[in-house]
Amino acid sequence: MADEQQTVDEAEQKEESFKPSAPTSKLNFDGPWKYDEAPQSTAAVEIKDQYELFIDGAFREPEKGRYMTSINPATEEPLASIAEATQQDVDEAVQAARKAYEKRWSPLEAAERGKYIFRLARMIQERSREFAVIESMDGGKPIRESRDVDIPLAAAHFFYYAGWADKLEYAFPGRKAEPLGVAGQIIPWNFPLLMLAWKVAPALATGNTVVLKPAETTSLTALKFAELCRDAGLPEGVVNIVTGAGQTGSLIVNHDDIDKIAFTGSTKVGKIIMESLAGTDKKYTLELGGKGPNIIFEDAPLDQAVEGIINAIFFNQGHVCCAGSRLLVQEGIADHLVRKLRDRMETLIVGDPLDKNTDIGAINSEQQYNKINEYLELGVQEGAELYQSSCDLPEKGYYCRPTLFTNVGQSNRIVREEIFGPVLTIQTFRTADEGIAKANNTPYGLAGGVWTDKGSKIFKVGSRIRNGVVWANTYNQFDPTSPFGGYKESGKGREGGLHGLYPYVKLNPR
Amino acid sequence: MNSSSHSRDIPYPDIVPIDEVAVNQRVARLNSRSIKKESKVAALEMALSMIDLTTLEGSDTPGKVIQLCHKAKEPHADMPDLPTVAAVCVYPNMVSVAEKALRGTEIHVAGVATAFPSGTATLDAKIEETKQVVGDGADEVDMVISRGEFLKGNYHYVFDEIAAVREAAGDAHLKVILETGELQTYENVRRASDLAIRAGADFIKTSTGKVKPAATQPVTLVMLEAIRDFYYKTDRMVGMKPAGGIRKAKQAIQYLVLVNETLGADWLTPDYFRFGASSLANDLLLQIVKQKTGVYQSSYYFSND
């Protein structure tokens, strides 16, 4: 009988844990003054019903005639049909890239290559609003982010690497940097055009040609970019875009005539790619998952740290490989900080990605939405305390409330595994050593943050965090001049900056 | 920080670290809020109701103050349903004039005191002036802190002075002007805010309007955060008044967004938030009329007080 009662209690508890928590604050963020809708117009945007493959400078139908449907995750409505590339399509794309590499692109004078890349950069800027709106419709990210972050940064990457094209002898003094050949590039769905820019810009600047596969849920901006390559008069075959799912990706990875693989995505797929590439002479860079520690010391500027924590985990719905998803707080300020954090979460606007006031948009796909919800359930099962903001969610579309888990341990799966959603776990530490130990106790090592008002502590702690990037008193800052990449299972190689040229060149004596 | 005087029993606030870059980023982020349609109309009318309509010139005359009070009562005759402003703010010698002109209305009379704007007078003179202003009918007193003493590190002096003025002001609402344009750093702004709040301020206020920069949004955000932390600790709500340099309706709305997302709806009333401004009122009216009629009117249609 007692057992039965307990089971009922547990069931009730479990059910309740998925209702938004009642706001605990005395602050009232639900007053009569509400912001009206401020939707971004989609009038200037043209999305076709069907998109083909971009091979050898032209759009062509896939060999097998198969198409996938791209869904708008905010409405669950189909946006467009996307071609699925199979073996023969990938072969043709690689052949086109090889031919372009040998005949047109690598023989071209470096300054001329630079001009093309500058042109692409300018054209992205000119059409930035169109790209931003499509990015938000296709991937669910808030228009404020696609407009202010994704697209400007993508253009900046092209500008930056365009500048390197004719200056490689200064990048590698005393050595001759030669291109590798054809680069196969596979990019994720969280920052579609930006990841394309990270991959394509350095490859073209160093004289390589590319076969790129965007993620199956977010192919549209890559295909728009293909239109832009065509409009820019880029020589045929220099950039080839083949759409498709994981199968298409594996065709690229295993293709004999590809010289280099650049992949951004999950650690799981990264491991499979590494296995496939073992024993081949292909160069590769992998930019994989993360479980970023964000360490807050008690002498940190707290109100600004709260903003940083919010930005670290809720930027792009938490679909960020370098997200600060593990909050480590010095114990003396933990209660105060969590209270501030909860209050701040109440002011986050979750909803229509195309509304200019939206802070958190839609989860990218149904699959990811389900995965996040599994983790929420798992967290509760593991005994963590779940807190969610009390915001209303739209009825249609894949939305997730911003979520905190307290009362968690280093051994919990929600602390160890990458959730890739708006879910933050909070742990406390007493000494800096303890904080550092917790930060490093993970197979990942991509990015993290340190918050303290004391400059010396930033360097002392920051240099002991085994992460490719450590931000100090800020988070999620990106710049094309700065290298980015991971330690341990977060990847291999660096993208961005001067370092981002290495993976695309052979260095020979002059 | 341990000595015998009464105020010294109160622990003085330590330096609260403030990251300037992040404060500015937060403000920029909040400025990207897009306030449209009904929410804009509501914001414009709310801002109008929060104005301390101010004239603080050496050339002020009773006639000018009386006319300003008319404007306060009826901002735009064509729209009788508009709210009145919150208060009229004048120099000490004009308090009785304003009090008479506003008698029978809900509009408060605010008198600046304590040797506004410089604050460089003896404590006795400041207390005397405060009593005079309240005696003449001001129910709100806008005092200035001694920035020289503050920057010297003489926090006890500043605290005691505010506490003494607080006492002299009796039941009148006390607004403490920090003159943030002279405080150099956001940390100082925070420290002065904490000091003023603990010494009994009902409102903390950025500026006299006589020093540049006057009110800025980042400074206001830092002050709002001080108010929030104090509220967390004590449950006492302290008001906020940015003053000086806020001339446009768009700026006013940005300030309201700042308050809305830092302290929430309970502060979005004239009891806890004010604008110290004069020309702002007309731009708000211009925008309100634009929202209702669809067209901008010539400035001739609005009274210039």
- Does the structure show a pLDDT above 50 at A320? yes
Q: Which domain holds residue A131?
A: 52-288+487-509
Confidence class for position A22, pLDDT limits 50, 70, 90: very low
Confidence class for position A432, pLDDT limits 50, 70, 90: very high
Q: Are A279 and A357 within one domain?
A: no
Q: Are A313 and A436 within one domain?
A: yes
**How many percent of chain A have pLDDT more than 70?**
95
Cβ-Cβ contacts under 8 Å, B16 against chain A:
301-302
Q: Is residue A342 part of a domain?
A: yes
Q: Which of A92, A130, A321, A495 is catalytic?
A: A321
Q: What is the pLDDT of residues A155-171, one digit of tens each?
A: 999 999 999 999 999 99
CB contact under 8 A, A28 and B264: yes
Q: What is the pLDDT of residues B64-96, one digit of tens each?
A: 999 999 999 999 999 999 999 999 999 999 999
Pairing of strands A326-330, A423-429: parallel
pLDDT at B128: 98
Nearest CA in chain A to B228: A27
Distance from CA of A356 to the nearest CA of B (A): 6
Count Cβ neighbours within 10 Å for each residue of B48-87 and write b for 16 or more, e otherwise. bbbbbbbbbeeebeeebbbbbbebbeebbeeeeebebbbb
Q: What top-level class would CATH report for the domain B16-301?
A: alpha beta
Q: CA B128 → CA B32, B92, B114, distances in Å?
A: 46, 11, 9
Answer yes or no: are the C-beta atoms of B213 and B186 closer than 8 Å. no
Nearest CA in chain B to A38: B34
Question: Tell me, what amino acid is at A366?
Answer: E
Mean pLDDT of A346-360: 97
pLDDT at A14: 41
Distance from CA of A322 to the nearest CA of B (A): 20
CA distance A189 to A67: 18
Chain B contact present for A24, CB below 8 A: no
Within 13 Å and on the Cβ side, how many CA atoms surround A467?
A: 30
Q: Is residue A119 part of a domain?
A: yes
Residue A33 has its nearest CB partner, among B21, B36, B42, at B42
Write out the DSSP string of B222-256: HHHHHHHHHHHHH----EEE-BSS--SHHHHHHHH
Mean pLDDT of A255-268: 97
Q: Are A329 and A203 within one domain?
A: no
- Does the structure show a pLDDT above 70 at A25? no
pLDDT at B13: 58
Residue A444 sits in a domain whose CATH number is 3.40.309.10
Q: Is residue A182 part of a domain?
A: yes
The domain tally of chain A equals: 2
Q: What is the pLDDT of residues A173-209, one digit of tens each?
A: 999 999 999 999 999 999 999 999 999 999 999 999 9
Q: What is the pLDDT of residues B145-166, one digit of tens each?
A: 999 999 999 999 999 999 999 9
Q: Which positions in chain B have a beta carbon within 8 angstroms of at least one beta carbon in chain A?
A: 16-19, 21-23, 25-26, 32-40, 42-43, 46, 225, 228, 231-232, 235, 256, 260-261, 263-266, 268
Confidence class for position A3, pLDDT limits 50, 70, 90: very low
Q: What is the pLDDT of residues B230-273, one digit of tens each?
A: 999 999 999 999 999 999 999 999 999 999 999 999 999 999 99
pLDDT at B153: 92
Distance from CA of B285 to the nearest CA of A (A): 19
Confidence class for position B221, pLDDT limits 50, 70, 90: very high
Distance from CA of A343 to the nearest CA of B (A): 9
Q: Are A314 and A375 within one domain?
A: yes
- Does the structure show a pLDDT above 60 at A9? no
Q: Are A366 and A495 within one domain?
A: no
Active-site positions of B read 142, 205, 241
Average pLDDT, chain A: 95
Question: Tell me, what amino acid is at A132?
Answer: A
pLDDT at B15: 84
- Does the structure show a pLDDT above 60 at A465? yes
What's the CA dihedral at A146, A306, B264, B288 to 10 degrees?
-40
Q: Are A252 and A329 within one domain?
A: no
Q: Are A282 and A296 within one domain?
A: no
What's the CA dihedral at A488, A493, A497, A502 to 10 degrees?
160
β-bridge mates for residue B277, sequence order: B53
β-bridge mates for residue B142, sequence order: B112, B175
Chain B contact present for A38, CB below 8 A: yes
Beta carbons within 10 angstroms of residue A374's beta carbon: 11
Mean pLDDT of B103-113: 97
Cβ-Cβ contacts under 8 Å, A474 against chain B:
21-22
Distance from CA of A357 to the nearest CA of B (A): 5
Picking from A14-18, A281-285, B153-157, B222-226, which range would have the lowest pLDDT averaged per residue? A14-18
CB contact under 8 A, B17 and A299: yes
Confidence class for position B14, pLDDT limits 50, 70, 90: confident
Q: CA B275 → CA B30, B86, B246, distances in Å?
A: 18, 9, 8
CA distance B39 to B33: 12
Chain B contact present for A28, CB below 8 A: yes
Q: Is residue A196 part of a domain?
A: yes
DSSP-derived 3-state class of residue A295: strand
Q: Is residue A20 part of a domain?
A: yes
Confidence class for position A17, pLDDT limits 50, 70, 90: very low
Nearest CA in chain B to A306: B22
- Does the structure show a pLDDT above 80 at A247? yes
Nearest CA in chain A to B262: A344
Distance from CA of B274 to the nearest CA of A (A): 17
Residue A138 sits in a domain whose CATH number is 3.40.605.10
Please report, for chain B, the start and end positions of each structural domain, with discontinuous segments joined by +. 16-301
Q: Is residue A418 part of a domain?
A: yes
Residue B19 has its nearest CB partner, among A29, A38, A301, at A301
Residues 314-353 of A with CB under 8 A from B: 336, 339, 347
Cβ-Cβ contacts under 8 Å, B255 against chain A:
none
Q: Are A12 and A81 within one domain?
A: no
Residue to test with chain B: of A37, A304, A315, most B Cβ within 10 A: A304
Cβ-Cβ contacts under 8 Å, A148 against chain B:
32
